[in-house]
A and B are shown apart, each in its own frame.
Chain A
């Protein structure tokens, strides 16, 4: 039987054109890295997104758009369009089937981190991922008017510790011209990391926020104030930004949502977080698909570069093919040789690309998490990556059929005569 030492020849032949082969494989590797990277970040972003809020049945805020409300109240992206009155909040809180509510007041910042005015119910009821509770890494919940709790990332970046002081500024930016510097807050607790915007938040009491806007000092503790004092100083603020609602049973959500949306005294809006997330993701989804598509095309470019490299080498390799034919190689061996060269280059590129992706992720994962709250769940190649490597290799073999077919035709026509 005539045998064809295919893998050996293909490998040696590719190694012989080391420089070209390396560059070609590198092109594939970079394209695969881009593709896998985009996929990883995409999945991470999606997971982080979906894990941000859980266990809350409704979010109520001023009437704008559901996505807008979701973005500013939970993701701390953008600014609230309008505030809602405390009376409305109390009215909804008192509705039947409401189990709990958590008021939220936004608009201030501390060194680039959002300040959230709320109360200790937040730490009790806010849940993320699969109904996971917030936990304190250090210290505990809010105490007096000028106490503060911070997220893990805030603590990390600013190096704060329980018992320390911080100053709140007005406005959401990193630098603010209006510093309420007469109002230092004392840190009572640091939350454990969650991978959600909570990590990047500073929590204070609603009356604490009110107090700094009124210019009151830390000496004047409003916690025990009666309602007899002037309007701005009592424990309950005039208005808040939004509030979270938990229900006795989720089935009541739609009814309450309708009631809130048609609330006669104020233009309110209630959203169901899960539905708003889906809506938001459908907006982002288009960009996401585009990104994947671009990455896929880059992979295609990488594959075409293999084709180019092999096609370019084909003419100078006609001698080689004639030699192989003279040695007993059948035309389909020539075909197989070139197809496997293409596949080999792609395989090397794809494997290198996968390694590169995970290498980069290992380095970048902490940055992604810290900066963008994107948690990369899986830091080792999995079945999906294996499938990508296989798909890229298969596609290259398929494309390799083109130069292989030409070489096959050449080898039939050339016979043993080496014409160059």
Chain B
């Protein structure tokens, strides 16, 4: 293993269960995402994909094993440190309903900069949070002039997902976690969305961990693997 850079994600001997006595949802011996690497992780519904992302993001408490996100020990660090790492260095895109309904598009995109001074500072190279948000929106093919003040719920699902991508990318996070972000999109929009997302990750140097049940997306990525290959707990469980 190279020591050149801190891995974006490093998991060793991880076990996770929602309750102490329930069977583990995750039981992963080894998993790693390198900095800037774009990884596709396929998994059926209920196989623990979202749980894995929650664990990596430091939202779910892990009792057993080692898990690092961008060098932060998400298994042992206190909750404040984990929350801070997430605010400063992670971007998350959900399956749908990514946006706060009461904030207009522009505010939604800039939100991470309000949570994190580091993210706000990182936008300075692009002229500050607002300028960077506009830049990202146009890169994701949403004209800021038209959409900046638009109500989030007035957007189509595809547009909402692109706004979510812009929000995840603002302030140059080092790792983007995407949880089935294309499942509500039709094939054309799906491919376009992925292309844009990959492009932006590449230009900002962020690593991307993209989980989906749709194996057809695999060719877009640097590396693709099936959750069942690494998760011993998920085998035999489909929903």
Interface of A toward B, CB cutoff 8 Å: 1-5, 8-9, 12-13, 15-17, 319-320, 322-331, 415-418
Contact = CB atoms under 8 A, between A and B. Distances in A.
Contact of A5 (B79, B102, B114): B114
Contact of A327 (B50, B80, B87): B87
B115 A320 contact: no
A327 B112 CA distance: 6
* 9 tightest Cβ-Cβ pairs between the two chains A and B: A328-B87, A16-B102, A415-B54, A2-B87, A326-B92, A5-B114, A328-B115, A415-B59, A417-B50
Nearest to B59: A415
Given A2-B88, A326-B94, A416-B179, 17 more contacts: A1-B117, A2-B116, A3-B114, A8-B114, A9-B100, A12-B100, A322-B94, A326-B59, A327-B92, A327-B115, A328-B88, A329-B87, A329-B115, A415-B57, A416-B50, A416-B57, A417-B51
A9 B103 CA distance: 9
Nearest to B103: A12
Nearest to A316: B101
A13 B51 CA distance: 28
Interface residues of B, number: 33
B31 interface: no
A17 B100 CA distance: 13
B149 interface: no
A16 to B, nearest CB: 3
Contacts of B99: 323
Given A13-B102, A328-B84, A3 B59 contact: no
B172 interface: no
A388 B165 CA distance: 47
Contact of B59 (A2, A5, A9, A325): A325
Contacts of B44: none
Given A326-B94, A416-B54, A418-B97, A4 B115 contact: yes
B54 A320 contact: no
Contacts of B17: none
B38 interface: no
A3 B102 contact: no
B180 to A, nearest CB: 11
Nearest to A8: B114
B150 interface: no
B80 A330 contact: yes
17 contacts: A1-B117, A2-B87, A15-B102, A16-B102, A319-B97, A320-B100, A320-B101, A322-B94, A323-B97, A323-B99, A328-B90, A328-B112, A328-B115, A329-B87, A416-B53, A416-B59, A416-B94
A325 to B, nearest CB: 6
A327 B88 CA distance: 9
Contacts of B98: 323
Nearest to A419: B50
B182 to A, nearest CB: 16
B60 interface: yes
B101 A2 contact: no
A107 to B, nearest CB: 70
B25 to A, nearest CB: 11
Contacts of B51: 415, 417
A196 to B, nearest CB: 56
Interface string B107-133: 100011011110000000000000000
Contacts of B83: 2, 328-330
Nearest to B102: A16
Nearest to A2: B87
A323 B97 CA distance: 9
B176 to A, nearest CB: 11
A1, A16, A327 pick with most chain B CB within 10 angstroms: A327
